[in-house]
Structure 1
Amino acid sequence: MKLSKFKFELPDELLAEYPAEHRDESRLMVLNRKEKTIEHKTFKDLINYFDEGDLFILNNTKVFPARMYGEKEKTGARIEVFLLRELNAESRLWDVLVDPARKIRIGNKLFFGEDESLVAEVIDNTTSRGRTLRFLYDGSYEEFRQKLQELGETPLPKYIQREVEESDAERYQTIYAKHEGAVAAPTAGMHFSKHLMKRLEIKGVDFAEVTLHVGLGTFSPVEVEDLSKHKMDSEKAIITKEASKNVNSAISKKKRVCAVGTTVMRAVESSVSSNGRLNEFDGWTNKFIFPPYDFSIANCMITNFHTPKSTLMMMVAAFAGYDFLMEAYEEAVKENYKFYSYGDAMLII
């Protein structure tokens, strides 16, 4: 599979700047792989495709406000700092991206907040990810984390050109988010409303939760034509014993097992036993799925519409079938479906 096979014309106006007014009222394109049919529905119609004993696998990671703005000492230049991951809680060391990067060198200090109560010092700029900062703060660790919450803003993807609004803190997050650690949302799950989940539960549909803390690597462009040479960033994943038991039970009963999003699919495919069952897992995964690929756990998936040449689109092509997916994307552009993080959804059965 070559990178150039995932190119298609995506008009700018189809990139969703805002989510649908109600979570479960975004549009839903339903792809039936066996019948090769495409249906146009609303997300809440999802319930009609699932029965008692079917199971959804959800990613319960929680997005933290990872984007901060600081001022460089002496010059006062405004610097964007994007928190990627905590390296050491005790030393308050973080992996970050800085923008503009050319202005930041080892030893530089950055000041945050109107009262400049939070200071960071650049201690390394050789990491592949950007910079390492040490935060200097007088309070306890809990107070420090609280300060990051106060000063940070919701890390909407860069393609969204508007200012971050108050509602984004809630909408750029699933309703079942629990474990903080993602810098990007598992967007397929954002279409689920409390009402829809209740209706699914009443119908006897089950849920299993896994955690995959989405990193910025999700958005990293693929820069090699031969896909087998692309390396994914590692992301932290946790699959509990209980989750694996529930998933394996549904597989054994030949029920629908639906991965809600590419992040779930990557997590579960990173921990498969030799007999095609889900193992518990606590570690890092850099699994890159592209066609052709044999999936072991989920037999259906929910996903958003992805941008050209993205690793997310490649995974979905592996699941739906390359030709069928390209046909569906052509239809999505023609029918003005909204793409990307705040966009519409696709159910592949």
Structure 2
Amino acid sequence: MRVDLFDFDLPPENIALRPARPRDAAKLLHVAGGAPLTDHIVRDLPTLLRAGDVLVFNDTRVIPAQLEGRRGEARIGATLHKRLDLRRWQAFIRNGKRLKDGDTIDFGAEVSATAEARHEDGSWTLFFPGEEPVEVLLERAGRMPLPPYIAGKRETDAQDRSDYQTMFAQKDGAVAAPTAALHFTPELMAALAQAGIAHETLTLHVGAGTFLPVKADDTADHQMHAEWGRIEPETAARLNAVRAAGGRIIAVGTTSLRLLESAADEARVIHPFEGDTAIFITPGYTFKAIDGLMTNFHLPKSTLFMLVSALMGLDTMQAAYAHAIAGGYRFYSYGDSSLLLP
């Protein structure tokens, strides 16, 4: 499909630079197949779902994966993208033309890395020497990797250390937050449980590739970056039991959805999963694992807007986004939410 089909105009004032407070006070647009659009807040979620449904969250934890350093006189920026082993990460490099194999980048705070190999997409393998875990080094020298559309408008600060983590964050490894879950609070989770709505967690370490624009003119020519994920056998079994009992599986965030779809077979059975996924979902895709999605509002011409258009239909999502823009909904990572039920 032509990528320009997924374009739309977004006024800059609709881009959120800070999250709603409290988190569950964010707006929520309910988009149901064939029904009128309705405006809510996230706190209304227990009334929009049914007893027996299950919400699936991503429990990845964002690490301070953005580094600023020097190789000699050259300033080098690095955004870690994907762990390769205990001491090696693949990273997108700013000013990477100034690097060659074997160069050392000094990131300050007694943290350095060796540029080991350049990949075809321009990223590099960085090796972090020493005995301290890389996560410890990043806590000392790194910053939270806010998306470019936020970082370009203000500096990352101490508040982002908590704002850019979900309440489910447990497993270190993401360089972008699973932002749909930023809206949840302990109070909302208690209300959902009281309404008979269960929840499960899986792990997908979101990579920096989620921020990359689609540069191809046709979706067939776009290559997704792989991300590592895991669904435990017990989790898969419980999710299959929910569906067998007539409940719906609602992914919270496109990261949860992509991993669930990667783990499901044609019979709509979800299997345990551990490994990389580079699934790219566009209109025409047949969903096998999920019955709905809660997600924020995405960038024009992004793979994530393509995904929600595959779930609900491109015309429906264009109308929904036009409604959201006109209604003052806030977009992107710190923005408002939508509940999509085809």
The bucket for the TM-score relative to the shorter chain is over 0.9
Q: Kindly indicate whether residue 94 of structure 2 is the aligned counterpart of residue 99 of structure 1.
A: yes
Shift of 1:129: 4.6
Provide structure 2 residue ranges, at least 5 long, that are not aligned to the other structure. Answer: none
Show the 5 A alignment for 1:263-342.
263-342=255-334
Letter in 1 for 2:12: D
Asked whether the equivalents of residues 84 and 216 of structure 1 are also in contact (C-alpha less than 8 Å), the reply is yes
Shift of 1:45: 0.7
Q: Kindly indicate whether residue 145 of structure 2 is the aligned counterpart of residue 148 of structure 1.
A: no
Shift of 1:101: 2.0
Call closer, same or farther: CA 1:293–1:85 in 2, change over 3 Å.
Answer: closer
Shift of 1:127: 4.5
Call closer, same or farther: CA 1:25–1:331 in 2, change over 3 Å.
Answer: same
Letter in 1 for 2:67: M
Asked whether the equivalents of residues 95 and 133 of structure 1 are also in contact (C-alpha less than 8 Å), the reply is yes
Call closer, same or farther: CA 1:223–1:119 in 2, change over 3 Å.
Answer: closer
Corresponding position of 2:66: 67
Secondary structure of 2:37 counterpart:
strand
Asked whether the equivalents of residues 25 and 43 of structure 1 are also in contact (C-alpha less than 8 Å), the reply is yes
Secondary structure of 2:275 counterpart:
strand
For residues 47-82 of structure 1, the C-alpha deviation after alignment (integer angstroms, 9 at most, x for no partner) is 111232210011111111100111223x2x432221
Q: How many residues align?
A: 339
Instruction: Please report the TM-score for the alignment, with normalisation by the length of structure 2.
Output: 0.94
Asked whether the equivalents of residues 96 and 129 of structure 1 are also in contact (C-alpha less than 8 Å), the reply is no
Letter in 1 for 2:19: P
Q: Kindly indicate whether residue 32 of structure 2 is the aligned counterpart of residue 32 of structure 1.
A: yes
Corresponding position of 1:204: 196
Asked whether the equivalents of residues 79 and 208 of structure 2 are also in contact (C-alpha less than 8 Å), the reply is no
Corresponding position of 1:108: 103
For residues 299-328 of structure 1, the C-alpha deviation after alignment (integer angstroms, 9 at most, x for no partner) is 111010001000000000111111111101
Shift of 1:14: 1.2
Q: Kindly indicate whether residue 13 of structure 2 is the aligned counterpart of residue 18 of structure 1.
A: no
Instruction: Please report the TM-score for the alignment, with normalisation by the length of structure 1.
Output: 0.93
Q: Kindly indicate whether residue 82 of structure 2 is the aligned counterpart of residue 85 of structure 1.
A: yes
Letter in 2 for 1:184: A
Match for 1:133 among 126, 139, 143? 126
Q: Kindly indicate whether residue 42 of structure 2 is the aligned counterpart of residue 49 of structure 1.
A: no
Q: What's the C-alpha RMSD, in Å, of the aligned pairs?
A: 1.6
Letter in 1 for 2:331: F
Instruction: State the alpha-carbon separation in 2 of the partners of residues 93 and 297 from structure 1.
Output: 33
Asked whether the equivalents of residues 50 and 256 of structure 1 are also in contact (C-alpha less than 8 Å), the reply is no
